[in-house]
A and B are shown apart, each in its own frame.
Chain A
Amino acid sequence: MLNEKYRTISQVHDAFDRKELSSVDLTRDTLAAIRASKHNAFLLTMEDRAMAAAKMADQILLQHGKVPRDTHPLLGIPIAIKDNMVIDGVRTTCASKMLENYIPPYTGTAVDRLEKAGAVFVGKTNLDEFAMGGSNENSAFGPVEHPTFPGYVPGGSSGGSATAVKAGFCIAALGSDTGGSIRQPASYCGVVGFKPTYGRISRYGLVAFASSLDQIGPFTNSVEDSATLLEVMGGHDPLDSTSSERPKEPYAANVRKKLEWKGLRVGIPKEYFIDGVDPSVKKSVKEAIEWVAKQGATIVDISLPNTPYAVSVYYIVAVSEASSNLARFDGVRFGVRPPNAMEVEDIADFYKRVRANFGPEVKRRIILGTFALSSGYYDAYFHKACQVRRLIKNDFDRVFKECDVILGPVAPSTAFKKGEKASDPLKMYLNDILTIPCNLAGLPGMSVPCGKDEKGLPIGIQIIAPQFRDDLVLNVGHAFETGYTGGGR
């Protein structure tokens, strides 16, 4: 675990400026902490590369006398990367046997931008195989432990990244969020998790799961740090045609501006406080909302009537896109090829032998997706799901005329025990009900810690804003995080 004094970018940079800490020392301590940990949060540590980057950071510090924050906003900051994002020459497995030995020949854009800003990559974090899961129990390399509650799941699919930040194995980590895979583990582990607007950060170099839903985002110990990471990673990328050409904003400078709660219209969707949401989660989130109201914000009761269909739409759209995306794992250009794969009469048998490397959840989703796209069922499933997706998007468009931001719970419950939902896929899927709508509509959403349940397990509050109002999510998140003292956080 890192020194408690150094949990945010500014804490580390101030310590660098005071010469109380060097990047080499911080990186060495970080790597030692990861090696000694029993959380299984990392699939790989990047010792040589990290130490080389740290030495370089110290040289830059020496040259400038203090951290050049304008050119190197992440100088010497230890960062972990979810193992579904590629770095040239660094093994990327997606927590799958299929990619056990995959050494990518290029670096993804988001990761590249972090490195150019001075970040020190300490390792690749564990996940549910191909980011499919909500508990991190679907990793081919073993589950991840909750950072503070042994025997509990950290959430998923970016459970390794959430655990790594909470347990102090890095200052920030990258995750990817297709149906809640950043916000839900952030809520379970008690850290900040931010899924920016779809298209705000390039997906080039993120191994595709569901291309119309996937979004890269940060895990951090403060909202301010999430703003810094978004500013570094965001913006158009010619290598991802779905990345937006809208200019990115100075998120880091804006986040520190004082939020005027008075005049802010905060929407509370009734569908986010239904019976299936644990009383402790409701209580904690409602207390937080009461505090927001006391600050002068106007609370608006809103309705997102198509929310109950979100899980159904998602588990048709996401699995359909996944079945198509994962067709590329054919054992020709990359991936593991079993020794007997070449001794086949039929090319279909070759593919089947190769694709035996997929784990159970991945196979389950490919089958469901192939079915939903297959002749005779396409209209009833995929086409209809895309129409209902439009209705869900319309719900948001309508309510954002009445309110500026939406507040609600992130997940219906706090972290659960390992194995509790593992044998019931539908039960696991239903857990995503409150995070999925954001992905379907392409909106920015964030989880910020707001309290704890009776066992002491963390609870997050979700902040949602209209498309490309990432600045507003950050602004509200920062004001809440720095102002709210309730909830026993």
Chain B
Amino acid sequence: MATIEVNEALVRKVADLARLALTDEEVRLYANQMKVTLGYVDQISKVVVPEGTEPMVTPLEIATPMREDRVVPPMTTPDGKPKMIRPAPETVYEGFKVPPIL
């Protein structure tokens, strides 16, 4: 891990993957801070993990509990409109309005 060079180009690339637009000043700041943080977390590369150590992704005892596949009615407003659409910034015909992408 120690060989990774954290620079502004890396921050720009990662920000693009995360769909974040950064100013030049932010890129400089985050590159410096990322260098420091990754420099610190690099310590885990030195931890000797016994062979066969399963990565722990959840503290749960049972990973995937099963349940009956049952249809439940959607949430609606008193006038019968779908409730989940209510917080949308823009709607059209009871759907989410998005910019044209084709």
Which residues of B pack against A, CB within 8 Å?
1, 4, 10-11, 14-22, 26, 30, 33-34, 36-38, 40-45, 47, 49, 53-61, 64-65, 67, 75, 83-90, 96, 98-99, 101
Which residues of A pack against B, CB within 8 Å?
102-106, 198-199, 212, 238, 241-242, 244-245, 306, 308-309, 311-313, 315-316, 323, 327, 330-337, 341-344, 347-348, 350-353, 355-356, 358, 360, 363-364, 366-368, 370-371, 374, 377, 380-381, 383-391, 393, 425-426, 429, 440-443, 467
Interchain pairs with CB closer than 8 A, number: 170
Q: Pick 11 A–B contacts, CB within 8 A, sort by A.
A: A105-B84, A330-B19, A333-B87, A337-B89, A348-B19, A358-B20, A386-B57, A388-B44, A391-B53, A426-B37, A467-B59
Contact B30 A363 (CB under 8 A): yes
Known: A347-B101, A360-B26. 14 other contacts (CB 8 A): A105-B87, A106-B83, A309-B47, A332-B88, A348-B16, A353-B21, A363-B30, A364-B33, A370-B15, A370-B17, A387-B49, A391-B53, A442-B59, A467-B59
Point out which of B16, B44, B57 has the most chain A C-beta atoms below 10 A from its C-beta.
B44
**In the bound complex, CA of A344 to CA of B17 (Å):** 18
With A103-B86, A344-B99, A391-B49 in contact, do A363 and B22 touch (Cβ < 8 Å)?
yes
Q: How far is the CB of B27 from chain A (nearest CB, A)?
A: 10
With A316-B41, A341-B99, A374-B14 in contact, do A238 and B59 touch (Cβ < 8 Å)?
no
With A370-B17, A374-B14 in contact, do A309 and B59 touch (Cβ < 8 Å)?
no
With A316-B41, A370-B18, A371-B34 in contact, do A198 and B59 touch (Cβ < 8 Å)?
yes
Residue of A327, A334, A353, A386 near B56 (CB, 8 A) is: A386
The B interface, classified by DSSP as helix, strand, loop or mixed, is loop
**In the bound complex, CA of A114 to CA of B4 (Å):** 49
Contact B56 A364 (CB under 8 A): no
The 10 closest A-B pairs by CB, nearest first: A442-B59, A386-B55, A337-B89, A351-B19, A352-B21, A312-B41, A390-B56, A334-B87, A105-B83, A370-B18
Q: Which chain A residue lies CB-closest to B27?
A: A367
Contact A363 B14 (CB under 8 A): no
With A212-B57, A387-B53, A390-B56 in contact, do A334 and B89 touch (Cβ < 8 Å)?
yes
Q: How far is the CB of A329 from chain B (nearest CB, A)?
A: 10
Q: How far is the CB of A465 from chain B (nearest CB, A)?
A: 14
Contact A370 B44 (CB under 8 A): no
Q: Which chain B residue lies CB-closest to A343?
A: B99
Contact B60 A347 (CB under 8 A): no
Contact A309 B44 (CB under 8 A): yes
With A212-B59, A363-B30 in contact, do A355 and B83 touch (Cβ < 8 Å)?
no
Contact A429 B11 (CB under 8 A): no
Within 8 Å CB of A443, what residues of B? Answer: 59
Within 8 Å CB of B44, what residues of A? Answer: 309, 312-313, 316, 384-385, 388
Residue of A244, A367, A386 near B18 (CB, 8 A) is: A367
Q: Which chain A residue lies CB-closest to B36?
A: A426
Contact B59 A352 (CB under 8 A): no
Q: Which chain B residue lies CB-closest to A427?
A: B36
Residue of A102, A242, A334, A384 near B60 (CB, 8 A) is: A242
